Amino acid sequence: MIEQGTILTQTLAVAIALLAAPLFLDLAVSIAGNLPGARRHGAKGGRTIRMAVVVPAHNEQELIARTVRSLLAAVKATPAADGEALAEIPVFVVAHNCSDATATAAEAAGARVLELKNPRLLGKGAALRFGFQTAQMTGANAFLVVDADSVASANLIEATRTALEAGADATQCRYELEPVTGRPFRPLARLRVMAFRGINVFRARGRANLGFSAGLFGNGFAVTAETLERAPFSADSIVEDLEYHIRLVAAGMRVQWVEEAYVRAPLSAPGSAQATQEARWEGGRFHVATRATGRLLTAVLHGNWQAAEMLAEVWSLPLSRGIIALLLTLLLPVHWLHVFALACSAIAAMYVFGSALMGDEPWLDLAAMIAAPLHILWKAAITPLVLRQTRKRAEWARTRREARQP
């Protein structure tokens, strides 16, 4: 009986370690890449880029005008290739199965509106394919994707075009949530903003600095027509950005990080909207990970080490769930597991500190960690919703956001 108990304990210990290892390995890579002196890997070569902006939109009448205005300002700030005139860069808004005034608001703001009405095409991927195809017919050979609720930095188009002209297969800029301002102090909201920054900026920059692919986050990324020929955009899952990133890495391509430009989007409203959004992301990631593992392993066996790092990324737990896994180690009297948990805890602490330092108010972000236990409990509570989302189709559902000026 004692021997059987020991075997069971060791088996559980190994299972917990295997569950947590991809996350903390990915975090360790990110931390190393953000250390002073980490080398940046830029693309080489030169080519002519004719940009177009594609904005997929589904029932975004409240914020689409703000997005279009910010993009047109970025167009205006982008010099033409010869430096003599403004760049001719169209902004296409794909109004996908909209039942509101998204198309009217986008057109009034100055965008070229493409209406796509087909109830059988439910995902964001369908809107992107339609936008890419239309933009290419107007002469564009590169496509910048910006979400319909976002604000772009004035240098976004120029910085993206520069990276693509240098030979990048694809690019991703900084994608952050709009900062939490004013009073009272809102630790849960700040925690969400910092967590988002950690995933979409700290980890992306760290991977890119070590020569890995930065990642695609569905907003603020760009691809060339040549890249789409080599790896067609056939992604139709809830997390179409991750799905397509896997395809790029498996094909031997890399997403280049654009540090100096950004897009920012508002927080989802707390409560059911936040729970649904995060469950969709987590459930979608798990679904895509199970389908993509074979492809990535095959790529690794053929010498594609980018795919090995991609495997760690797709199987990474959210940090809050990783912390839950570490807490489970306290239940098992296994010395090596406790050492493993201690090392992982140190990695998590460095990652959180680094993510906080990248914000405008790092000490307030660190103070928001007082809400971490509540967030972890909330994550545990929505687990059934996450599991249900792993089986759902990629229907495009608008997420309710916190109030913003249009």
Q: Say how far apart CA 269 and CA 273 lie, in whole Å.
A: 6
Per-residue pLDDT of 320-365, as tens digits, reads 999 999 999 999 999 999 999 999 999 999 999 999 999 989 999 9
Q: Looking at residues 381-396, what average pLDDT do you find?
A: 69
For residue 43, is pLDDT > 60? no
Q: Selecting from 3.10.129.10, 3.40.50.740, 1.10.357.10, 3.90.550.10, what CATH number does the domain 51-189+212-282 have?
A: 3.90.550.10
Quote the percentage of the chain above a pLDDT of 90: 69
Mean pLDDT of the chain: 89
Q: Please measure the distance between the N-terminal and C-terminal CA atoms of the chain and give it in whole angstroms.
A: 67
- Our CA angle for 65, 71, 75, nearest 5°, is 140
Gap between the Cα atoms of 124 and 399, Å rounded = 13
Q: pLDDT digits over 48-71, tens only?
A: 899 999 999 999 999 999 999 999
Confidence of residue 397 (pLDDT cuts 50, 70, 90): low
What average pLDDT does this structure show over 231-241?
89
Composition of the chain by helix, strand, coil, percent to 5: 55, 15, 35
What burial class does residue 1 get, using C-beta atoms within 10 Å of its C-beta: 0-12 exposed, 13-18 middle, 19+ buried? Answer: exposed
Compute the distance between CA of residue 309 and CA of residue 288 in angstroms, rounded to an integer.
Answer: 16
Sequence-ordered alpha helix ranges (H) in 54-155: 64-76, 102-109, 124-137
Give the span between the Cα atoms of 143 and 15, in whole angstroms: 43
pLDDT category at 1 given cuts 50, 70, 90 is very low
Amino acid at 82: D
pLDDT attached to residue 121? 76
Task: Express each pLDDT in 9-24 by its tens digit.
Answer: 999 999 999 999 999 9
Q: Which range is least confidently modeled, 106-115, 259-268, 277-286, 336-345?
A: 277-286
Q: List the chain domain ranges.
A: 9-38+295-389, 51-189+212-282
- Percent of the chain at pLDDT > 70 equals 90
Q: Please state, in angstroms and as integers, the Cα–Cα distance from residue 297 to each residue in 230, 300, 301, 305, 310, following that order.
A: 20, 5, 6, 10, 10
